Structure 1
Amino acid sequence: MSESKLYWAIIDGWTMSKRSLKHIFREAESLVMAIGLPVAIMVMFVYVFGGAIQTGTDYVNYVVPGVIITCVGFGSSIIAISVTQDMVGGLFERFRSMPLLPSSLMVGHVIGGFVRNVIATTVAILVALLIGFRPDAGWLEWFGVIGVLALFMVSISWAFVVFGLLVKSVEAANALTFPMLFLPYLSSAFVPTETMPSWLHAFAENQPMTPLIETLRGLLLGTPIGSNHWLTMAWFGGLLIVSMVTATFLFKRRKSE
């Protein structure tokens, strides 16, 4: 890409990002849902189920990393719906008649989703602190938490862009996000995997959410991380690359239809 094209790609990406950022506050119900549902789940698990679940530590400390991941998942799933709305609602066709790089539409959705996730995650952590969450992390560990969450947010955002490009209706986009949102419940997010049946334990131990959650738990609470941080980078670094390549391919195919 020439220097001029790179410049305009950045300008167009920023233009679409500003559009997505404005939508965060204009469509406040999406932000409220992205914050409220994970927080409600956290409160329910801590106060309703927490006394019955033995994890070797205060349950609120155990459950917060999983709630953070659930929060990011809900916040990112909105991207799939927004991308589909833009594609089927005629907005993309309108952009094609303007001096605007069409792929900047995807970049704008990803950046908007990232900011929405940062807001929702920050609120979720503050609520967790109010109900008893007490992390042991120092500054270095908190930087590690930020880095891991940033990788997860960006990679899952691009995955949801792919979902939004795969379907041709908002309802289908909403349904397609469900399996990804359900994964944290089949991991070590809310209960130790050792308590699960053997067939489910094998899946829970070897799906991407478990090493991600164990890495965050280790950074925040000082529990053993082992190889989980490498597995996290492999899973979500790979997801980011595959999702970006797939989204680019699907976008070009939709463009030629």
Structure 2
Amino acid sequence: MTAPRRSAPTATDGSAHRAAADHRGAGPLRSSGVFIRRSLLHSLRDGEGLIMAIALPVLLMLVFTLIFGGAIKPQGYIDFVVPGVILVCAGFGASSVAVAVNRDFTLGAMRRFRTMPVSVPTVLVGHIVASLIRNLLATAIVIGAAFALGFRPSAGLAGWGAALGLVALWILAITALFAFVGMVASSPETANGYGFALLFLPYLSSAFVPVDTMPVWLRGFAEHQPVGPLVDTIRWALTGAGAPHGLAALAWCLGIIAVSAVLIAWRFPRSADR
């Protein structure tokens, strides 16, 4: 009696293996990469929004240095104001995430993502990481414009590293907060309004004027809100002026990231396409 021969793998077997692999879907790392690329492509296609995210802080710096600077501080005001303009740039660029996330939830994109073999929460990772990349690029352009206007920081490599590290941490913090705002807002217009309100924080700090020139009732808030210690520390790292509040700045950034992560983790499973 001859032994039964083993059948060779067929094309159908290979298709089944591929189908099983496809059914497992993309892991969180691969999904994050896909959604980061998606957010960056959307940014490039939205040319007007990208230009405004860069042009507005530069115009703001021109207004304060060329028009208001002489009245506020006749000498060296540009060295004083650049850290504040950088934070305004970061906040303005990050605010667009609230609108982008809200559109995903209200215009049907999330409904489609939930049917695909991907890690759906990584949609938010894509928005946040893409915001970090966009805003660091915008920060570099703003700093270049500041140099053209006469900004001459005394910082060495360590000072620049500390300043840019704090800027990146603040971008992550404020973007995560804006992502949560986008999840809970009822419409893109509402998300944009909430984001615009948060952009006033730099104006109520030492970003543009010394705190001791403010009314007494406002001074306490200006000194103890998130942007206050952050802008003071960045200014000290770049120019050596003022006093650093590095621990307070780190605590604010990490605290906002932690609270935003908890709120997103709580809200995301309960969110529904609207």
Pairwise TM-score range, normalised by the shorter structure: over 0.9
Letter of the 2:94 counterpart: S
Query: Quick check: 79-88 or 174-183, which moved more?
Result: 174-183
Match of 1:36 among 31, 46, 55: 55
Aligned-pair distance for 1:128?
Answer: 0.4
Match for residue 249 of structure 2?
232
Deviations 1:141-179 (A, max 9, x none): 111112111110111110000110111201100111122
Letter of the 1:206 counterpart: H
Q: How many angstroms apart in 1 are the aligned matches of 2:80 and 2:108?
A: 46
Do the aligned partners of residues 224 and 59 (structure 1) sit closer, same or farther apart at CA in structure 2, a change above 3 Å counting?
Answer: closer
Q: How many angstroms apart in 2 are the aligned matches of 1:67 and 1:54?
A: 16
Aligned-pair distance for 1:195?
Answer: 0.4
Q: How many angstroms apart in 1 are the aligned matches of 2:161 and 2:62?
A: 26
Match for residue 194 of structure 1?
212
After TM superposition, the structure 1 = structure 2 runs for residues 82-161 of structure 1, keeping only pairs within 5 Å, are 82-161=100-179
Match for residue 46 of structure 1?
65
Letter of the 2:46 counterpart: E
Letter of the 1:124 counterpart: V
Q: Which structure is larger by alpha-carbon Rg, 1 or 2? A: 2
Letter of the 2:89 counterpart: C
Aligned-pair distance for 1:54?
Answer: 2.6
Deviations 1:58-99 (A, max 9, x none): 011100000000000000000000000110000000011110
SS of structure 2 residue aligned to 1:177: helix
Q: Which runs of 5+ in 2 are unaligned?
A: 1-23
Q: How many angstroms apart in 1 are the aligned matches of 2:64 and 2:156?
A: 27
Aligned-pair distance for 1:225?
Answer: 3.0
Deviations 1:98-124 (A, max 9, x none): 101110110000011111101111110
Do the aligned partners of residues 58 and 153 (structure 1) sit closer, same or farther apart at CA in structure 2, a change above 3 Å counting?
Answer: same
CA-atom RMSD, angstroms?
A: 1.5
SS of structure 2 residue aligned to 1:122: helix
Q: How many angstroms apart in 2 are the aligned matches of 1:256 and 1:186?
A: 36
Query: What percentage of residue pairs aligned between the two structures are identical?
Result: 42
Structure 1 stretches of 4+ moved >4 Å: none
Q: How many angstroms apart in 2 are the aligned matches of 1:130 and 1:29?
A: 24
- Does structure 1 residue 243 correspond to structure 2 residue 260? yes
After TM superposition, the structure 1 = structure 2 runs for residues 175-214 of structure 1, keeping only pairs within 5 Å, are 175-214=193-232
After TM superposition, the structure 1 = structure 2 runs for residues 35-74 of structure 1, keeping only pairs within 5 Å, are 35-54=54-73, 57-74=75-92
Checking the alignment, whether the CA contact within 8 Å between 2:106 and 2:273 is kept in structure 1 is no
Match for residue 23 of structure 1?
42
Letter of the 2:140 counterpart: T
Match for residue 21 of structure 2?
none
Deviations 1:4-29 (A, max 9, x none): x9x81111011100101111211111
Aligned-pair distance for 1:255?
Answer: 4.3
Aligned-pair distance for 1:224?
Answer: 4.0
Q: How many angstroms apart in 2 are the aligned matches of 1:135 and 1:23?
A: 35
- Alignment length (residue pairs): 250
Q: How many angstroms apart in 2 are the aligned matches of 1:38 and 1:111?
A: 21
